[in-house]
A = this chain, B = another copy of it.
């Protein structure tokens, strides 16, 4: 899924999903919207202070042609989407059934469960959608997919799919995660509940629904497609570069205008955000152990021994305390942020505009915070979020961690960190800087295990991929917020970096929730006038492909 950042880990029931929420991936999304919409954490459910053109939205409860009315106003220089929209409506039940079939096939890389079956099923759907070439790509991990659809069009567009999903604890779900049941939810309408519903099978199926509709209407696609898919997104895409960097895949992607991941980008208020890239990240474990240090015990011993034994836990605390400045925020790792690019004028302008449109109070409430660092203003806080590299403690674990105390001197203590990177920092350089910094200060024995990492990625605001998004959203009556950089991360660097240097992003109307959490859902038939259901999402993808065909 998109590397969503999450304003509300509290959506995860306490004590239940901690263990399942991660398997080593670089980022652990939990929330519902897309990277773009949620680039400013807490924004997803903000009331955005702009006037929605509600006339362009329809009561979601009203199914049928009316739902797609906004599409009737598609730009005159593109083909007529009428027959395609009719096909979307006509094939609604068929699309829902396909999505249910997809969800009913668990495909969990972290548990090595159903991954091959999930890959095969995805390949079948792609073939049915019109891809002529659909190839399974082996990797050192789970297989990927490379697929192409030649429509004889002049432009080619890339699609990034994931076919794996996050683990589940069925006991936490109000409807079984693999049942993919349709449920009525007041305020939203008819939703499909199941693991992968929004992350990412729902939005991906909405794209396929658009492709089925073009075929059904007997119309050629307005663009050619190149699709790459992976089955390890939820464990941090460790082998995704192996898929993308195959010569035939590089060659095909090299022809693309850009590449996007289908997403359900709408918040409950219908609003969307377009991000022009994402921070990079490395996740590391700092492991201090007596064995490796050669000081202190090599197994937990009684705490009275502290009088005569060094403590790997204190050693870790002392190492950690060198990594940030006295403010507890500014990274103090030597050379870490040397290549951090300062915020540009245009980025500052976007942030100022965002600060005007986004609601600080609601964001603070959603995050459960009273103050930003250094008592920064809203605008300053947003700028920090978009542009500041960070050193964060994800977790501390050492010795006795249960209720009360236990008088041990632990032989081992671990800090789990994530470091966020901005252009032109790289994951490899950040990792190296951290190791050098520790060694220079006498902490060279502390093991630095990098469990995942992405470089930052950037896409220019004037890329056709982005301008086409803006155009389609605007036609839907939405004035999207343009944002310089998501504070979360996703493997977009594989596309935006060398050698491809593609524009990359996320797109799609629609809404869902519960990614990485129980009761994950995707809206099938919306009763909320502000958000689109499955057909509306498919429609947005049809429009987007058409728009990309004519945007230069």
Contacts and interface: CB of A to CB of B under 8 A. Distances in A.
Contacts of A387: 307
A9 B395 contact: no
Give the most central of A31, A326, A394: most B CB within 10 Å. Answer: A394
A400 B407 contact: no
A295 interface: yes
A506 interface: no
A297 interface: yes
A406 B367 contact: no
Nearest to A489: B304
A308 interface: yes
Interface stretch (A96-104, A208-216, A225-233, A314-322): A314-322
Interface stretch (A20-28, A198-206, A265-273, A475-483): A20-28
Contacts of A279: 304
Contacts of A393: 311, 313-314, 317, 398-399, 409-410, 413
A392 to B, nearest CB: 4
A304 B41 contact: yes
Contacts of A305: 5, 7, 41, 367, 385, 487
A283 interface: yes
Contacts of A404: 22-25, 283, 451
B369 A290 contact: yes
A10 interface: yes
Contacts of A397: 396-398, 401
A488 B23 CA distance: 40
Give the most central of A308, A329, A410: most B CB within 10 Å. Answer: A308
B301 A328 contact: no
B298 A385 contact: no
A435 interface: no
A385 B41 contact: no
Nearest to A283: B405
Contacts of A22: 400, 402-407
A381 interface: yes
Interface residues of A, number: 103
Contact of A367 (B285, B297, B324, B368): B297
Contact of A385 (B5, B31, B307): B307
Contact of A396 (B308, B313, B418, B488): B313
Contact of A18 (B324, B402, B409): B402
Q: Indicate how many identical chains form the complex.
A: 2
Contacts of A294: 370-371
Contacts of A65: none
A396 B314 CA distance: 10
B420 A394 contact: no
Given A395-B398, A396-B413, A400-B18, A405 B369 contact: no
A31 to B, nearest CB: 8
Interface in A399-445: 399-411, 413, 416, 418, 420
A30 B385 CA distance: 49
Interface in A50-68: none
Interface string A298-310: 1111111111111
Nearest to A417: B405
Nearest to A386: B307
A384 interface: yes
Contact of A9 (B28, B301, B371): B301
A385 B19 contact: no
B308 A385 contact: yes
A488 to B, nearest CB: 5
A153 interface: no
A27 B302 CA distance: 9
A404 B452 CA distance: 9
A227 B27 CA distance: 61
A390 to B, nearest CB: 4
A285 to B, nearest CB: 7
Contact of A309 (B5, B369, B400): B369
Contact of A401 (B316, B390, B401, B487): B401
26 contacts: A5-B407, A8-B301, A18-B402, A22-B403, A23-B404, A279-B304, A302-B488, A303-B392, A304-B486, A305-B487, A306-B392, A307-B373, A307-B386, A307-B387, A308-B382, A314-B393, A315-B328, A318-B326, A321-B321, A368-B411, A392-B409, A394-B400, A395-B398, A395-B406, A396-B397, A405-B451
Interface of A: 5-10, 18-19, 21-31, 41, 279, 281, 283, 285, 290-291, 294-311, 313-318, 320-321, 324, 326, 328-329, 367-373, 376, 381-382, 384-388, 390-411, 413, 416, 418, 420, 451-452, 486-489
